[in-house]
Chain A
């Protein structure tokens, strides 16, 4: 009979260096970034959150793949028209406000750049933080440029721009339920805006972590993960814009 007691091999924790089968650090719930014994485990947490984001982007892609395939299929679909006694294609290409949307695209791309700068800035801050804590030591850059804040402003700018674009559509006579094509325009842009707004909330939370005196590592993880999400949102927007512009 085997012993029923635990037969474990105890391994002392040692600094990680990647690989899937290594000794795991016990993950920390919530935003608490303090290492157990001083060894930085936030690098591992960062990796884990990045992995989580990559996984989480897959269903968002599926959502927009579904909308896209519905869009493409619907475009080519005939529907039985009683008056004509035949299948008729009733697709009405939407006159989207291209110039306005182009400006919005530029705003979003610039915000992606500022987001990336904010991401690298917070990475630097996290690296220097243990040293910056030492009294009397200065690591320079006492008043860092508010790239994060600028990103938030640009993000809001994009959302306002989208709202203006919807108003422009209405002026041109395309409301949500005007035609199947207009429904898709509102649907695709609206769903994207919703996801982007989520990203803005994450950025606001990241900005607030400094006020709430959370450790710099936690802040860095939020900004890093949100930055990748933000870049994905920019790419997604470019895709949607191209779809609506060239596959009307």
Chain B
């Protein structure tokens, strides 16, 4: 099992054999692409589930082809699996394990990750986790209905609903496997960043993408262990008669429950201690990509590199201190609520700093509007929109009317379901030439951008209004409450917008696969970007740098340096006259 076994004078050939090369490859680039395609499969599954959800919400009696009518419990299963698949198998996978795996080693000048075998194992463990998750659809009772947050006692008691039997167990097992896979990946990312940087690549010369992947990995390292603990306790409550989460004296559908003495709030604390860092795991890589692209395509260094780094570090640190803001209405101590609330408002500050700095990067730049840049600009807009609903929810008194309404759905979808996705799109359009040696179609890319940008706003902006009107979330239909009837036209508008926007993603998929085969051949550095991946061949050879070790002499975003002969200086270019 040898790989990366290199002699300094010549590049080593990749291992032979189809299985070694493409299935159980130890090459971080192949593994990155494997993760990316897993996430692609997951995102289309998740989008399809949300399409069924939106259709059912406005036409509950609709008879769909193949599925027939969707029963309320089936709606809730669709919703649970939609959230779970999107959060775990798309947002925790593509930006970090996908692009991070491919480009972290290259951007720091390393020939591979620190532990290539572990890397391969972490991908296949993620794959197994996904298969187990999907299996929940096909077992008796079907997929669970307790939401991606899986609160007991609904998730702890098989009697509490259809799908809460074997389906729920498979869900927990899948998540536990995913925790293991994530921890393996985080270990690799952290060790690689600390130990494999090329000469001259100090931490403060790393591209902001690398910082984002590094901090995300630290968050994952510390958070997934807690989720694993919670999952183990839940499995024990469900299958071994323990009572970590289930109190005594309960009766479900006339069946007395034999558990005694547990606390449902314990789950919420454990889950959200993981859950809040998780959402920062989902967004930080996108922030890194946005910073990289805004700088490249404005031909200007990122505004305030150090501040950007400290902001990400603060977001990571504070991210562990704010989990209680998901629990203001849960019955937890109001004193704790106040403390969590202040910390949550505080975490808005580094996010605001990053936004100011992105705007500062654009200011007095020279902006090129290729597709990657459009998605980076879109990211900033969506991050602002999604972020500004946060201060409403962060104040417990305002959270009282807004908690568990569509206002929350609007908030997290704009940030996770669109901004983070735009980060993935931006990364795809930007790095596709390097990964596949061809350019994606600009025309299709721009069309994809405008349709998705407008479509996503059309879907999620109106959800704020619904939340303000008191429309609760996780309702399979809105036929029972009179005050919801006037809101149905808004729901219909959202559903139509969703149908159009989801369809528009086919443009992206077509562009992706068609360009792999037929796209215009790409040069080595089509975007005139400065970071290390753009000095490699296209696509990079097995050891990334063709047998030579890069030496870094510059920071990552030296664009339009006064006095330089070109408007960009590669990180490995020889030292020029001192500029900054």
Residues on A close to B: CB < 8 A? 1-2, 4-13, 20-24, 26-32, 34, 36-37, 47-48, 51-52, 55-56, 58-63, 65-67, 70, 73-74, 77, 79-82, 90, 176-177, 179-180, 183, 187, 191
Contact = CB atoms under 8 A, between A and B. Distances in A.
A70 to B, nearest CB: 6
B242 A74 contact: no
A60 B225 contact: yes
Nearest to B202: A21
Interface stretch (B110-118, B352-360, B373-381, B417-425): B110-118
A21 B197 contact: yes
Interface of B: 1-8, 26, 109-112, 114-117, 183, 186-188, 190-191, 194-202, 221-226, 228-230, 232-233, 236, 240-244, 247-249, 260-263, 266, 269-270, 273, 523-525, 528, 535-536, 543, 545-546, 548-551, 553, 565-570, 572-574
Nearest to A191: B232
Contact of A11 (B197, B228, B241, B551): B551
A31 B117 CA distance: 10
Contacts of B225: 58-63, 66
A84 B550 CA distance: 73
A90 B566 contact: no
Contact of B2 (A4, A22, A30, A90): A30
A22 B196 CA distance: 9
A29 B1 contact: yes
A79 B8 contact: no
B191 A74 contact: no
A82 B250 CA distance: 10
Given A21-B197, A30-B116, 15 more contacts: A2-B528, A2-B569, A2-B570, A5-B524, A9-B551, A24-B195, A24-B198, A30-B26, A32-B5, A37-B8, A48-B195, A62-B225, A73-B266, A79-B260, A187-B236
A1 B240 contact: no
B243 to A, nearest CB: 6
Contacts of A81: 248-249
A7 B568 CA distance: 13
B243 A32 contact: no
17 contacts: A2-B566, A9-B574, A21-B199, A21-B200, A24-B196, A27-B112, A52-B115, A52-B191, A55-B191, A56-B183, A59-B183, A59-B224, A61-B225, A62-B222, A63-B229, A67-B229, A70-B229
A110 B99 CA distance: 46
A59 B195 CA distance: 20
B191 A51 contact: yes
B117 A7 contact: no
Contact of B524 (A4, A27, A90): A4
A77 B243 CA distance: 13
A1 B566 contact: yes
Contacts of B248: 79, 81-82
B191 A12 contact: no
Nearest to B109: A24
A120 to B, nearest CB: 24
B549 A13 contact: yes
A94 to B, nearest CB: 14
B195 A29 contact: no
Contacts of B199: 11, 21-23
A5 B201 CA distance: 20
A28 B566 contact: no
A113 B510 CA distance: 62
A92 B510 CA distance: 63
B111 A180 contact: no
A177 B260 CA distance: 10
A60 B546 CA distance: 38
Contact of B233 (A4, A36, A70): A70
A59 B7 CA distance: 36
B197 A180 contact: no
A25 B428 CA distance: 30
Given A55-B187, A62-B226, A177-B241, A10 B262 contact: no
B520 to A, nearest CB: 16
Given A2-B568, A36-B7, A51 B194 contact: yes
B490 to A, nearest CB: 40
